[in-house]
Each structure stands twice: as structure tokens, then as C-alpha cells.
């Protein structure tokens, strides 16, 4: 598969940051048995990966703006382009030695998401997508699953934890979706959840209280794999609301209907 110059830049950046995370992940697994635990080490790994990404992308595309989980917003000389970066999505998994985490890099041009790369270095799975060019996993073309009934579908979600989200609303969502689907999965990485929808591994996904860097690359991935991504009202205010619903056309429509049962 011939990649564009833009995707090549994003891939090379993600791979370099991935090598850093892989080394640190090995250390974290060793630290699991210590009394102190790996918490401080993981935060250092996160910041180190973000620094690599920032430096590489700044060198390749001088002047582009950034929105980063750790570093926040950095205004560049080029107001038309913005990188949206999560250097370690799935921090809790990483912290516990679970190999389900990813680097997520997206590019926004004039307010529109145009490219995304999601890389899980522990599994060496590289997801890429560019607007109009399709979505790929390690150079294999991706399409969302073809299942049309929620009763046949496996749906991904995120579950609120200490200090994040409304547990009551999440439990109501879970009850409603569980009653209509073949199963629910909670991977612990929204970027990979969306990548899995693009790959047809999961039929749909929903989550509330997400940040742009959690889902920007994944949104491009799902859309380029033929799927639909909206907010919970079926509109485009995903970043503003922090709420996302994804799937193929039929599953997306059914999932929106099921989630609306709460009347919110």
C-alpha cells in the first residue's frame, strides 16, 4: 500500500514513540511486583512519548498547532492545521501490565478531521486512515462489520471510574444496551475501541466524557472504514459534548435509539 507523505510522517512519529513506550512497558511489568508500584514511572513514560511526538511532528510540519493530553493547547503559526495527540491512551492498562494501549495522532485541517494513526506497540498493530483514502490495519484494508441487528452485535463502551463521569447514567446505558445485544466489551482505550469498530472486531461503540484526543484518530478510522460516528443526538458535536456513538449505518441507528431510552 502506497502511503501519502502525511501518513508517512504520522506513522514514523507513532512508531518512534511506540518504541519508547515498549521499553517502558517492559519496566512497568517488572514494577508490578514492587510495593511502590509503577505509577510514577507510567506518568514519565506518557510525557516522554508526548515529547517525542511533539518534536517529530514539529520538525516535519513546522507551524502546525497542537492539542495534547499532557501538554494542552499549543498555538502554531499555521491556524489551519492542528495535531490532536494522545501519547498513551489506555494508561490504566499500561499501569497494570495489560497490553491494550495505544498512541493516537490525528490531523485537523480547517476544523475537519482529515487523517488518523493509532498504534498499539505491544501488539504491533498500526491503524491508519486518511480522508478519502480508506482505513487500514498494517496495510490491510478495513471495513466495518456487516451485522445489522443489535441482537447479533458486540458493542464496546467505557465505564466511568473514580472521579470521572456519572455512574448512574452509565449503569442505565449498560442496562439498556445489555438487554439488546450479544455482548458488551470494555477495552480501556477509546482509541482502540474505535479502531476495533473500523476493523469489524466490534460492531459498535459508545462512550461519554471523552476528550478530543481520546477519539479524534478513531473517528477518521471508522468513517473511512464505511462507518458512522456522531454524538448521542446523532449530530456532529462530538468534541463539544464528549459523547460518541459509532457503528455501521444500521447498528449506529439502533444504538442511538437504545441510548435515547433514558430521555437524555
Residue list, annotated binding site for Mg(2+): 69, 86, 88-89, 214
Cα 136 to Cα 139: distance, rounded to the nearest angstrom:
5
Look-up: residue for cell 510525557? 47
Residues with Cβ within 8 Å of 41's Cβ and at least 6 positions away in sequence, in order, are 24, 27, 28, 31
Task: Identify the CA nearest to 143 among candidates 204, 228, 222.
Answer: 222
Residue 188, φ and ψ in degrees, nearest 5: 95, 10
The kind and range of the H/E element at 207 are strand 204-207
Answer yes or no: are the C-beta atoms of 216 and 104 closer than 8 Å: yes
Q: Which residues are annotated as a binding site?
A: 69, 86, 88-89, 214
Amino acid at each position: 500500500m502506497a502511503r501519502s507523505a502525511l501518513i508517512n510522517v504520522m506513522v514514523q512519529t507513532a512508531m518512534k514513540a511506540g518504541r519508547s513506550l515498549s521499553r517502558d512497558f517492559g519496566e512497568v511489568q517488572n514494577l508490578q511486583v514492587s510495593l511502590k508500584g509503577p505509577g510514577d514511572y507510567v506518568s514519565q513514560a506518557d510525557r516522554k512519548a508526548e515529547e517525542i511526538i511533539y518534536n517529530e511532528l514539529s520538525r516535519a510540519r513546522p507551524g502546525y498547532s497542537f492539542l495534547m493530553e499532557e501538554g494542552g493547547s499549543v498555538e502554531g503559526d499555521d491556524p489551519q492545521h492542528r495535531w490532536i495527540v494522545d501519547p498513551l491512551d489506555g494508561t490504566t492498562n499500561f499501569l497494570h501490565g495489560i497490553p491494550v494501549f495505544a498512541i493516537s495522532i490525528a490531523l485537523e485541517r480547517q476544523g475537519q478531521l482529515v487523517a488518523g494513526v493509532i498504534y498499539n506497540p505491544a501488539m504491533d498493530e498500526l491503524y491508519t486512515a486518511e480522508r478519502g483514502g480508506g482505513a487500514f490495519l498494517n496495510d490491510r484494508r478495513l471495513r466495518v462489520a456487516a451485522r445489522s441487528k443489535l441482537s447479533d452485535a458486540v458493542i464496546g463502551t467505557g465505564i466511568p471510574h473514580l472521579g470521572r463521569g456519572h455512574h448512574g447514567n452509565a449503569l442505565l446505558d449498560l442496562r439498556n444496551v445489555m438487554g439488546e445485544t450479544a455482548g458488551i466489551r470494555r477495552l480501556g482505550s477509546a482509541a482502540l475501541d474505535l479502531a476495533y469498530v473500523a476493523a469489524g472486531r466490534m460492531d459498535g461503540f459508545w462512550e461519554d466524557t471523552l476528550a478530543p484526543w481520546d477519539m479524534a484518530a478513531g473517528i477518521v478510522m471508522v468513517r473511512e472504514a464505511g462507518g458512522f460516528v456522531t454524538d448521542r443526538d446523532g449530530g456532529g458535536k462530538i468534541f463539544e459534548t464528549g459523547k460518541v456513538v459509532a457503528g455501521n449505518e444500521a447498528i449506529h441507528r439502533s444504538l442511538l435509539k437504545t441510548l435515547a431510552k433514558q430521555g437524555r
